[in-house]
Chains A and B, each alone.
Chain A
Amino acid sequence: MKTLNLIALVAALACGSALASQEHVVAQKDKSFSTKKLDIKVGDKVAFRNDDGFSHNIFSLTDAMPFDLGTYGSGQLKTVTFSKAGKFEIECAIHPDMRMVVNVAP
């Protein structure tokens, strides 16, 4: 009985960790995103971290969940929780050449 309870507990913990949302970090450095493409799941968080010595302003016009993080300076970090599935095109309002895609799976 104790063995069964232990197995059930381990199984529950394993399922829980698989379902828990994850946090990803995307750095802005040299007026570029640290990755051009990021694949995540609904509920995951993406932290946009400014590793440059000047401000960035990250936004997305994707209809599923448009957002604007506002201007934030060097060393600061802004986090977005992607609560909708879809393909999110991410841009910087200050640096027009900065672009990346976040693919959010259901």
Chain B
Amino acid sequence: MIKLHLPSRASLWCAVALSATVLGFGTATVWAEPEKTQTQVHGANGALLPRDSKDAAVFRGGLVYANYCVTCHGINADGNGRAARLHTPRPANLRASDKNDAYIGLIVRKGGEPLGRSTGMPPWGEELTDEQIGDVVAFVRSVNAQSHSR
């Protein structure tokens, strides 16, 4: 069971659209119960994906991204979110990142300042679970891989 503040309807649909674009998913089922949220991910053929599969992690990570990251890093993960203009340096273009998964996870968890990076990046370890951090790293890796494959 993952801890997830249910995103706004708009950001939820952004996440679904994002993940569908990245992975070609057919459908996703997300429902909320008081104090908990369950996310089941179906592949394009309708089959339920294993919870610990990479594709499921990428989809869940897209939800995390849409709820917490899109404000600064943007809907296209290119650093052009609506709050980007407040920051110098600007939020990272995640599509062009050359960092490995471990380092990305560290930045997400600790924030920018302890790593000598932008103080605009909050320490998300206070807000996100370990699974959510892993999922959002998987999502960032997926958009990064797609960008480099083109």
Contacts and interface: CB of A to CB of B under 8 A. Distances in A.
A66 B86 contact: yes
B92 to A, nearest CB: 15
A67 B5 CA distance: 26
Interface residues of B, number: 22
B111 A71 contact: yes
Interface stretch (B23-31, B96-104, B121-129): B121-129
Given A61-B86, A93-B71, A96-B7, A54 B127 contact: yes
A36 interface: no
Contacts of A71: 111, 113, 119, 122-123
Interface in B10-41: 11
A61 B124 CA distance: 21
B43 interface: no
Given A54-B127, A93-B72, A96-B11, A59 B119 contact: no
Contacts of A55: 122-123, 126
Interface residues of A, number: 16
B66 to A, nearest CB: 10
Contacts of A54: 126-127
Given A66-B86, A95-B127, A96-B8, A57 B122 contact: yes
A94 B11 CA distance: 15
Contacts of B126: 54-55, 94
Interface in B70-87: 71-72, 82-83, 85-87
A54 B126 CA distance: 6
7 contacts: A61-B85, A68-B83, A68-B120, A71-B119, A93-B72, A96-B7, A96-B11
Interface of A: 54-55, 57, 59, 61, 66-68, 70-71, 91, 93-97
